[in-house]
Amino acid sequence: MAERARAGEPGDLGARTREEREERQKGAADVAGDGGPASSPKADPGLLGKLLDTLETGVFVQDGAGTITAVSPRAEELLGRGAAELIGRDAHDHLHRTENGAPLQRSACRLTQAFLSGQTLLSGTEWFARGDGGVIAVTCLMAPFADPREPGGAVLFFEAPDLTAEGAGSSSSDVADRLALVAESTTVLTSSLDTDKALRALVGLIVPRLADWAVVDLIGEEGEVRRVAVVRYWDGEYVNMEEFLGPLPAASETSRMPLSQALRGGAAVLVRAEDYAVPPDSPLTEIQQDFFRSTGMHSAVIAPLRAMGGTGGRIIGALTVGRADQKRPFGATDLALVDDIARRAGLAVDNAQLYEGQRRVAENMQRHLLPPMPKILGMEVCARYEPAPHASKVGGDWYDAFPLPDGSVAMVIGDVVGHDLAAAAYMSQVRNMLRAFAWGEETSPGAVVSRLDRALGHISDAPMATMVMGRLEGPEGGPWRLRWTNAGHPPPLVVRHDGRTDFLQGGEGMLLGTDLPSTRTDAVTALSPHSTVVLYTDGLVETRSSSLQDGLTRLSAHASWLARRPLGEFCDRLIELTRPVDNHDDIALIALRPVPGAGPESRAG
């Protein structure tokens, strides 16, 4: 156990360097008197280590970020945990609890407040989590290191003589207000996966309740720093101070200024205006000096935003809250509260960024899996894919169009069940299988889709899917006809050149992948010159707030109005006008328009 206690500086939880200890010993000898070294008491350099092995008081050391770096044998016994379970962990998250064993909010934790503010604290009764799942009532002495170059401190603790909690120096209403703000900030931060939206809501919660200025700086993927939010509460209104937004210099590795240290992972700190009234030590410091002068902030708290919520997490930015019009400076309680909120904000921002990255990967994957439209003489073909709104995932929507051996043209729309990367991958499997079956001897859309349905469960992992497959047939110059089959999908729409619209009924069958026997049939309709065939997925017409029929009616009306527009403009405007406001799904759309004078069998490219 003695070896485990020496995980940081062996046997040296008090002195900082060997040179300092030797200097102190020499100084003690010099002061001892004329007797010189021979008559001076000799300090035992291993005494502290020996004391820690036998001391009945538990001791652990934490660095400037609050991570436990060393622990004494008695601390292991009191906590029922080995050194390996303690070292490298965040002291507050891992140990501090309420009397009933629940996690303790940082903003309500006296030890955390003292640690962050660099104060010595002799606490009343506190509760630490034990390895057996229980809690132990302890009395603590929080003692910070004296050297500001080595932030951190030591905590000495022993079993409390009684379980009566002593006053924290704050009224119950103050504690309740702090806890309410933490709870509200958690709700705000978890209400959206849109980083900007969540941070704007958080800033609106902090200001003016806690401060009259709030600032968020984020670190990008390449290490660049951007100031993404600066809000001031002025004369009863929130003012977005856009003149302060934009790129910032990177945090200097040598700067001792608060923002630079926060962006490097230092602890939350209290900042006064005079802290920045010094010669600048980096370009970032120069900008911060101008910022403090321009805003008039006399007191601020700057806290790091950490990914994963822990001290060992990646630093993704910093939160600054400042007071200019509010006269009272921030104190230790405010420091702990802002640090608590910043930890939650860091976790929320990290989750949002991870989600956004995954969404971009999935969207790019889906776009690359969707085929380019072929160039077919006598035929205009246009397709569009619109990803789901920011709060949703991509899905299995897909389209295809390709010429067939007999000169006809196939057009397909489909939707594989699911809204994730797997759905996008399954979509590609289904599309490729359909192309292979359509190129074979089968010519009827119903026969091709039936064959695909029978094979789906045997040679693919794709779940259920809906689909419409059509064939545009006809001699050169027309007349043309559309033959189609529908496997549980919204009906095709034909838009005549004069604006008349028809949803095509007939050819309906069950969706794919049910493993139920079914007979699929075809339906046929004639197409007049310049008619447009539109196939689409349900994201264009379905919404939680209205019926499917309302969506179809809306689609028909807009398509009629756009009937004479060029096909590319027709598709873009149709999605723009028809997509429901509360849409939570992606959209695929394909439109085909035969051109008089050349049949679909003529092909180039």
CA distances from 235 to 231, 232, 327, 504 (A): 13, 10, 15, 60
Q: For residue range 21-33, what is the model confidence (pLDDT) as tens digits?
A: 445 444 444 444 4
State the pLDDT at residue 38.
Answer: 44
**Residue 187's pLDDT band (boundaries 50, 70, 90)?**
low
Q: Do domains 4-159 and 172-359 have the same CATH topology?
A: yes
- Cα–Cα distance for residue pair 91/196, rounded to 1 Å: 31
566: CB partners within 8 A, 6+ apart: none
Consecutive H or E run containing 303: strand 299-306
Q: What kind of fold does domain 4-159 have according to CATH?
A: Beta-Lactamase (3.30.450)
Which residue matches tokens 């020496």?
6
More confident residue, 309 or 4: 309
CATH number among 3.60.20.10, 3.20.20.60, 3.40.1410.10, 3.30.450.40, domain 172-359: 3.30.450.40
Q: What is the pTM of this model?
A: 0.51
- Cα–Cα distance for residue pair 488/284, rounded to 1 Å: 60
How many CB atoms sit inside 10 A of residue 53's CB?
A: 16
Sign of CA dihedral 396, 397, 403, 407: positive
Q: Per CATH, the architecture of 370-594 is what?
A: 4-Layer Sandwich (3.60)
Residue 593 pLDDT > 90, yes or no?
yes
- Cα–Cα distance for residue pair 371/417, rounded to 1 Å: 20
Q: What is the DSSP string of 69-80?
A: EEE-HHHHHHHT
Residue 23, SS3 per DSSP: helix
Q: Give the tokens for residue 110.
A: 């006296």
More confident residue, 84 or 168: 84
State the pLDDT at residue 53.
Answer: 67
- Cα–Cα distance for residue pair 78/76, rounded to 1 Å: 6
Q: What is the mean pLDDT of residues 386-403?
A: 74
Residue 387 pLDDT > 50, yes or no?
yes
Domain boundaries, the chain: 4-159, 172-359, 370-594
275: CB partners within 8 A, 6+ apart: 257, 258
Residue 44 pLDDT > 60, yes or no?
no
State the pLDDT at residue 197.
Answer: 73
Mean pLDDT of the chain, nearest integer: 79
- Cα–Cα distance for residue pair 142/271, rounded to 1 Å: 22
Q: For residue range 67-123, what is the model confidence (pLDDT) as tens digits?
A: 999 898 889 989 999 989 999 999 999 999 988 788 888 878 888 888 888 888 887
State the pLDDT at residue 367.
Answer: 64
State the pLDDT at residue 118.
Answer: 82
540: left (phi over 0), alpha (psi -120 to 50) or beta: alpha
Q: Provide the percentage of residues in the chain whose pLDDT is more than 70.
A: 78
